[in-house]
Structure 1
Amino acid sequence: MPTDCIPFRETHYFSDFICDYLDQKPELKDFYHRFPKLENFEAQIVEKQLAVEAQSRAVLVESLKKQYKNLQASELTAENIESLNAENTFTITTGHQLNLFTGPLYFLYKIISTINLTKQLKETYPQYNFVPVYWMASEDHDFEEINYFNFRGKKIQWNSKQTGAVGHFDTEGLDAVFDVISLEFGAGKNAEQLKSWFREGYLNHSNLADATRYLANQLFGEHGLVILDADDRELKRLFIPQMQKEMLEQTAFKTVSETNKKLEDLELKIQVNPREINLFYIKDGLRERIIESEGVYSVLDTNITWSKSELLEHLDEAPERFSPNVIMRPLYQEVILPNLCYIGGGGEMIYWLQLKSNFEAQNVTFPMLLLRNSALVKSEKQASKLNNLNIQNKDLFLDRHSFINKRVRKISNIDIDFSEQRQQLESQFKHLFDLAEQTDKSFLGAVKSQEVKQIKGLNHLEKRLLKAQKRKLADQIERCTELQEDLFPGQSLQERNTNFSELYLEYGNELIPEIMKALEPLKGEFLILNLK
């Protein structure tokens, strides 16, 4: 299974912010706790062990057992859930939205990164247990972000007028989507497996959270993955002190706003902005912001209001009605889990780096933050074509214009790079500038004007010759660009666009194990993987 790696910065698909974090730039040190190196986990374990109460572990295990009551958990998953009662067990967590049929490929990479890290930690620290957790974003309400997946250039979409937390959504209407994918997937053993997963998951479960749990369990249950739906009354009861502090003291707004100012002073682009109260209210298809004005608390765009005492009483009676937003969700996660490290994408890493001060204000241990593995999967046929066309892996990451120009220059039988001529021209004009300086400085402007004119003419000639060669080599260039488009659909990373079903149709049950063998969560580079 040949592989190649490229530094994240050299792909040009990751922000300077996240690349600076990976490079451990000193100016970012104050925004995280410990960098995710294997040797740093020991101190994180000791700190987290002191912070987690046995009662919290018992509540977590009981909630998980209830959530798995109607699901066939693997023996390893069942053992992992039970082990969470022990003080020497810790979690490695990733989170993701409830995207239809998993959404883009990076859903797989997130979870595989998490599973692989737990294995690596167990080898290094055998006296502890490490459990991989997938946190379902069941309380999210951005339905338009999750109601589709891409398949071979087509958008397979679920249309629904339901509102509120998506995990509560009834799966009504997904039978129509099943009819579409049945035609798209076609026939064959792998196609039938995909259709079976979709049918069992989405047509035989009443809500989106249960459907997603079923599918994730089918894909990763045998590897011990524990799937958590934190939209849970008893789990939220553990979070009451932090929610109370947030509503009464507006803790996150104060701390995160201050952090954001520091990041902006470093000219780094922040991901999220806090609100005065970073909690939603959930009820009967509603998920709306809680706001406060002159001592009165209310739910935006509703008639629901409370006094301070009424709010605290309601929070205690019905904690399940209160839902953390993007600022508070990470805090909730670290309160209810014995967690050491969160694994996420670049955008997630950035907003986590905005939150450390809020964790400190709430006296909650801040986890390690690890960028998930990223990969480009090439088939044997695609790898052979790239080799025949003499296209290097790093060239595939170029934007389309640069990619084409580089290919034209490479395969052309004439040299269309005028860099040497430009250097010669600049050298000649340097001599003319020196001459004008010594004789009559009034000629300096005329010399400069002539230099600009001639370099502009040279550049224009280079572009015209390049354009002519593009026409002459159109067939070869088209083959190259078609291959790049296959691997970078829509000129975007494959992992951000393609659904796993496209690869599963070709590789079947070998797909996940093969990717699992290749991904190294602590390596910190972009993987290019050739699958046979």
Structure 2
Amino acid sequence: MRDLVQTIATCFEQVALFFPGGDPKAQASFEKRAVYLDSRTYSRELLADTLREYHLNLGSSSETLKMIEELRNKETLAVITGQQAGILTGPLYTLYKAMTAILLAKEQREKLGRPVVPVFWIAGEDHDWQEIRETYLLNSQGNIVPCLLPGDGGGKSIGHQKVPSWETIETQLLDMPESEFRSSVITKCRQITEQAENLTQWFALTLQWLVQKWGLIFFDPMIPQFKQLASPMYEQILKMHGNVRDALAERTKEWVDLGFKPQIKPTGGEVNLFLSVPERRAILFREESFYLRGQKKTWSLDALNQLLTGNPDSFSPNVVTRPIVQEYLLPTLAYVPGPGELNYWAQLGEVFAKLGFIMPILYPRLSAVVLTASWQKYLKRQGLKLEDVYSGLQEHRNRCIREQDMLNIDERFQRLRNQIRKSYAELKPLEDIDVNVNKWLERNEAKVKYQLEYLERKIWQAQRKRCKDQLSRLQQLEDGITPNNSRQERVLNPLTFVMRYGHSFVDRVSEIPLGDFDEYPILM
């Protein structure tokens, strides 16, 4: 599959059809988008009133409340990003998304000469429990350990899930490394956990604590006023579900023809909305009737619209229509996606058009790898580069073990094999004694070879134990930089580094330059 971020960074014209908001590297795209947004209207007073009440309940900073007040101004635009409400904010890329929105909003505020505010859309309507139920940190030994939520979610939206007891979380944080910040971070986590009423709020409070001085606005789409505000868009999606499917299929085919792998893979009949009754289920359409996935009961369009009028809280968008609802509710100058999101947004341009919108500018999130001072020192000492760690260190492990082999283990075993082979060759004349001698010799030699291989494995195991300190350091390096054989930003939780460096770590994230769309090393 082609690297979409690099394609956008180096030759946007190749994918321009799929991103009608324009080239994120060109300031002209932002200026053109601002003119387009000025032609549209939004329920700014209701948005600001509802957001203010929500953020007062979160105990948000004066900077955030100032940003919210700016939304009342018809000139104010928004840079939006979003993510599922992961445990303790989820992986590092959540923080990187938030910071990208903050930095881009600040940059465009200066360049456009008008208010631009950063907004984080919390996908609390999502019911994918496996997506949010665990996060990973590095323990005091430098090894990766999980922090898990109990239960299975029961098919309910994340925003309807209760926060676990603090004791459940605390027991999983006790093995974090000692530092001057560890105690205060755990105390703050406890305070937030006990304050939050649901997993969405828990997420918002935790991320807000990390970025509070930059005024990030949190948008919870499950707030009743926002549901009511979005209901005309849900009605339109229900009415035009066939057009939406066709538009998605058309653009997806073009995307595949260009050499990319689609993220959204419809199975047929999707209306691209969910209905919670109470379990959240996809609405499908077949044989002139609507129904819910896994159920036989059918619904008419009138029945769904009546339910929407009386209970808009029960409806929610899916991956196809969530960006549309966002576009309908907020003056979106740009959206900050991760690589996977960027791929599925590329399939949505024609869906936007069918519903009367132009897709916003897609600005890829910051990408970074944190390198502690000890990791930097060890990389230098071993003559390793970051690319070597990404490629895997097994070859380097083997080399380290062999470099400490002062007894020539392989040579000794090879000499023994040669001696055994020679000895059995000398027994070959005995085959004249009995027809079965050849078979006995072959079986016996195979057993000897098996035992020799077993002995060789045990010797090398013992040799590896003699190198355990060096192998442990290599494992710590992989756990820190490529945990679970993946990119650090996709696995490790920000608290891994906040516990070690305090808020200075978040400050370092805020210093990452915008614009090159490449992985940036954060040297701590």
TM-score bin (small chain): 0.7 to 0.9
One of 260, 280, 286 as aligned partner of 1:268: 260
State the partner residue of 1:101. Answer: 88
In structure 2, relative to structure 1, the CA distance for the partners of 1:476 and 1:338 (3 Å cut) is: same
Which residue pairs with 1:297 in the alignment?
290
Tell me, in whole angstroms, the C-alpha distance in 2 between the residues paired with 1:304 and 1:26.
Answer: 47
CA distance in 1, matches of 2:403, 2:123: 47
- Which residue is 1:140 aligned to? 126
TM-score, with length taken from structure 2: 0.80
- Once residues 18 and 185 of structure 1 are traced to their aligned partners in structure 2, the CA distance between those partners, rounded to angstroms, is 35
- Structure 2 SS opposite 1:528: strand
Say which of 159, 181, 195 aligns to 2:150.
159
Shift of the 208–301 alpha-carbon distance from structure 1 to 2, 3 Å rule, reads same
| Residue-by-residue CA offset, 1:144-183 (whole Å, 9 max, x unaligned) | 2111111221111111244210111012x43342331352
Relative distance call for 1:529 and 1:248 in structure 2 (3 A) is: same
Corresponding position: 1:288 with 2:281: yes
Distance in 2, matches of 1:196 and 1:339, equals: 37
Aligned equivalent of 1:430:
none
Of residues 215, 225, 231 in structure 2, which corresponds to 1:234? 225
Report matched runs for 1:18-417 at 5 Å. 18-33=5-20, 34-39=22-27, 40-51=29-40, 53-54=41-42, 56-125=43-112, 127-152=113-138, 153-163=144-154, 164-171=156-163, 173-185=164-176, 189-250=180-241, 251-274=243-266, 275-284=269-278, 286-302=279-295, 305-400=298-393
Specify every segment of 5 or more residues in structure 2 that has no aligned partner in the other structure, as ranges: 139-143, 405-459
Offset at residue 95 of structure 1 (A): 0.4
Whole-angstrom distance in 2 between the partners of 1:408 and 1:375: 32
Q: Would the alpha carbon gap of residues 228 and 25 (structure 1) be closer, same or farther in structure 2, given more than 3 Å must change? A: closer
For 2:516, the equivalent position in structure 1 comes to 523
* TM-score, reference length from structure 1: 0.79
CA distance in 2, matches of 1:143, 1:253: 26
How many angstroms apart in 2 are the aligned matches of 1:242 and 1:289? 17
Q: Could you report, residue by residue, the CA deviation over 1:458-508 in whole angstroms, capped at 9, with x for unpaired residues?
A: xxxxxxxxx9xx99x978984556534432223221111111122112101
Deviation at 1:337, TM superposition (A): 0.9
Q: What is the alpha-carbon distance in structure 2 between the residues aligned to residue 528 and residue 118 of structure 1?
A: 23
Is the 1:49–1:88 Cα contact (8 Å) retained in structure 2? Answer: yes
**C-alpha spacing 1:299/1:505, structure 2 compared with 1 (3 Å):** same
Structure 1 window deviating more from structure 2 (222-231 vs 493-502): it is 493-502
Kept in 2, the 8 Å contact 1:236–1:319? The answer is yes
Q: Deviations over 1:245-273 (max 9, x none)?
A: 32223232110111111122223210012
SS in 2 for 1:278: strand
How far is 1:340 from its partner?
Answer: 0.9
Aligned CA distance change for structure 1 residues 144 and 83 (closer, same or farther; 3 Å): same
User: Is the contact made by 2:4 and 2:343 (CA closer than 8 Å) also made in structure 1?
Assistant: yes
Q: Is the 8 A contact 1:150 1:499 kept in 2?
A: yes
Change in CA separation of 1:118 and 1:63 when aligned onto 2, cut-off 3 Å: same
Indicate how the Cα distance of structure 1 residues 295 and 28 shifts in structure 2: closer, same or farther if over 3 A, else same.
Answer: same
Which whole-Å CA distance do the structure 2 matches of 1:353 and 1:265 have between them?
Answer: 13
SS of the equivalent of 1:88 reads coil
CA distance in 2, matches of 1:407, 1:253: 56
- Is the contact made by 2:9 and 2:25 (CA closer than 8 Å) also made in structure 1? no
User: Residues 208-251 of structure 1: CA distance to partner in whole angstroms, max 9, x if unpaired?
Assistant: 12212211221112211001101133323333333223222323
1:140/1:192 Cα in 2 relative to 1: closer, same or farther (>3 Å)?
A: same
The amino acid across from 1:203 in the alignment is: E
**Cα separation, partners in 2 of 1:185 and 1:393, compared to 1, 3 Å:** closer
Structure-2 change in CA distance of 1:400 and 1:258 (3 Å): farther
CA offsets 1:338-396 (integer angstroms, 9 cap, x no match): 11111121000000111010000111121111111111111122212222223233433
Q: CA deviation at 1:23?
A: 2.6
- Per the TM alignment, residue 88 of structure 1 is displaced from its structure 2 partner at its CA by 1.4
User: What is the rounded CA distance, in whole Å, between the counterparts of 1:354 and 1:406 in structure 2?
Assistant: 46
The count of corresponding residues between Structure 1 and Structure 2 is 455
Provide closer, same or farther for how the CA distance between residues 74 and 108 of structure 1 changes in structure 2, counting only shifts above 3 A. Answer: same
Q: Is the 8 A contact 2:86 2:133 kept in 1?
A: yes
Residue 512 of structure 1 pairs with residue 501 of structure 2? no
Query: What is the RMSD of the two structures over their aligned residues, measured on CA atoms?
Result: 2.9
Radius of gyration: which is bigger?
2
- Which secondary structure state, in structure 1, belongs to the residue aligned with residue 363 of structure 2? strand
Deviation at 1:510, TM superposition (A): 1.0
> Residues of 1 paired with 2:272 and 2:399: CA distance?
49
Moved more, 324-333 or 199-208: 199-208
SS for the counterpart of 1:185 is: coil
